[in-house]
Structure 1
Amino acid sequence: MFGLFKKKSEIEKLQESYSSMLSKAHKVSHSNRTEADRLMAEAEEIAKKIDALKNKSGN
């Protein structure tokens, strides 16, 4: 009940974006390999941002 209005952290937003990007890349990979590779590259950049935020908050 109290978590209903809880704002998402930056890491949570990036994780959702990352999983969405991977899903899109998988769907597109069947028809357009170049677009799928571009989406995978974007997903990897998001993963790097997530790692950087986790390392920053962990120290």
Structure 2
Amino acid sequence: MFGLFKKKSKVEKLEVKYKKLLEEAHQLSTTNRSKSDEKMYEANEVLKQIDEIKKSEEA
């Protein structure tokens, strides 16, 4: 209840975007392989951003 109005962190927003891209890539994999590959590439770029943020927070 207390977290109802809590804003998402940048990492949380990127994780949601990452999951969405993976789902889209999976759906496209049956119909359009090249579009699926593009979505996978975008998802990997988002994952790299997440890793960079987490590394900078640790340091």
Q: Tell me the TM-score range normalised by the shorter chain.
A: over 0.9
Percent identity over the alignment? Answer: 47
Gaps of 5+ in 1: none
Distance in structure 2 (CA, Å) of the matches to 1:24 and 1:58: 31
- Alignment length (residue pairs): 59
Give the Cα–Cα distance (whole angstroms) in 2 for the partners of residues 12 and 25 of structure 1: 20
- Larger helix proportion, structure 1 or 2? 1
Any idea what SS the aligned residue of 2:8 has? coil
Q: Tell me how far 1:35 sits from its aligned partner.
A: 0.1
TM-score by length of 2: 0.98
Segments of structure 2 that go 5 or more residues without pairing to the other structure are: none
| Runs of 4+ with >6 A deviation | none
RMSD: 0.3
Q: CA deviation at 1:51?
A: 0.1
- CA distance in 2: counterparts of 1:56 and 1:28, whole angstroms: 34
| Corresponding residue of 1:22 | 22
